[in-house]
Amino acid sequence: MMHARKSLLSLAVLMALSGAAMADDSTVNTTQDGSSNALNVDQQGATQSTVNINQKGSQNTAGIPAAGRYSGAAISQTASYSSLNINQSGNYNSAAAKQSGNNNSGAITQTGGSYVLGQSATLDQSSAYNTATIGQASNTRTSASITQGNGNNNTATTSQTGNGNGTGASITQSGNYNLASVTQQGNSSFISGTVNQTGNSNTGSVLQLNSTYAVTAKVDQNGNNNLGNVQQNGASASTATATQRGDYNTAGLYQSGSSLEANVQQRGNNNYASSTQTGSYNEESLLQTGNNNRATVSQTGSSSGYFSAANVVGVTQSGNNMVANVSQSGGGGNVATVYQH
């Protein structure tokens, strides 16, 4: 009961504080220690303002993320040149925040949750010159999601290290000088990372190191100066995907060991793709469609899959200045097909 009353009191006080936070340079600081605490903040029109939230314990929430048909009630900051920081340590905590305005920074950090239901963090920014960061370490079952839209020159990164039994991160960006990154290191069991970008100077990237078991990664880009890149090192049951559509394209992709599979697609303009997979069943499919194509695939064999098959490549190119190089080496069912038109 004491915890429940504390949560409601915190919520009421913060809502009152945030309602008053209409002047420039305002600050909301709160610290909660214990279990089942819940709070929310709504800070509006406050230039150069700050929200700092610290929660220590289990089953705490800072804002409520949207889920399915439920819209949620994220911590909200509508301002410019402002910062929002949420720190949670303990089991089964969740954080959800939204920032609207220019030149804001948002950061969520979650550590030390070993409870089976895990931790979740969601950060949503709109407008320009914003920075978003989510860091999760030493948790069991973690998810991180950053969305940036309706603005330019935003940057986003997630970092997940030493988490177990399910780790996932996604970054979605919309327009102009995009740049995104998902970094996952020393996590175990089910791991996934996604980057999704839409227009202008894109970059992308997902990096999963010493990954293990059912690793996946994905980069999906849409238009302009694309780049791509997926790297999985250590890997295990693997997959990797990079899909690009228009403009300067490049791609990347590299995986290290076990079942592996990659799937690179590009559609138009100054394409280039490369994919290196080493050790075990391998498989690959690379499709390029138009303009200055090029492709390089290398798989280095060692299949010992069911009935010792696998190793397959693919590669289809369709139009313009095509080139393709394929190399497979040692062990397994090897097949390679290149089709150019």
Predicted local distance difference test score (pLDDT) of residue 88: 92
Predicted local distance difference test score (pLDDT) of residue 19: 41
Predicted local distance difference test score (pLDDT) of residue 42: 87
More confidently predicted of 332 and 261: 261
pLDDT digits (tens, 9 = 90+) for 257-275: 777 888 889 888 899 888 8
Q: How confident is the model at residue 304 (pLDDT cuts 50, 70, 90)?
A: low
pLDDT at 115 over 80: no
Domain membership of residue 42 (yes or no) is yes
Which structure tokens are listed for 311? 């190793």
Domain membership of residue 228 (yes or no) is no
Q: How confident is the model at residue 96 (pLDDT cuts 50, 70, 90)?
A: very high
Q: Which helix (H) or strand (E) holds 192?
A: strand 191-196
More confidently predicted of 301 and 319: 319
Least confident of 109-118, 163-172, 292-301: 109-118
Predicted local distance difference test score (pLDDT) of residue 8: 41
Domain membership of residue 341 (yes or no) is no
Predicted local distance difference test score (pLDDT) of residue 308: 62
Q: How confident is the model at residue 71 (pLDDT cuts 50, 70, 90)?
A: low
Domain membership of residue 114 (yes or no) is yes
Domain membership of residue 202 (yes or no) is no
Domain membership of residue 37 (yes or no) is yes
Domain membership of residue 300 (yes or no) is no
pLDDT at 18 over 60: no
Question: How far from chain centre, in Å, is Cα 177?
Answer: 17
pLDDT digits (tens, 9 = 90+) for 192-202: 889 998 888 88
Predicted local distance difference test score (pLDDT) of residue 20: 40
Q: How confident is the model at residue 307 (pLDDT cuts 50, 70, 90)?
A: low
d(Cα 305, Cα 301) in Å, to the nearest integer?
Answer: 11
Euclidean distance between the first and final Cα of the chain, in Å?
72
Instruction: Count up the domains in the chain and report the number.
Output: 1
Domain membership of residue 133 (yes or no) is yes
In terms of Cα–Cα distance, which of 229, 228, 195, 188 is closest to 209? 188
pTM for this prediction: 0.83
Predicted local distance difference test score (pLDDT) of residue 121: 92
Range of the domain at 105: 25-65+73-186
Predicted local distance difference test score (pLDDT) of residue 6: 43
d(Cα 97, Cα 281) in Å, to the nearest integer?
Answer: 42
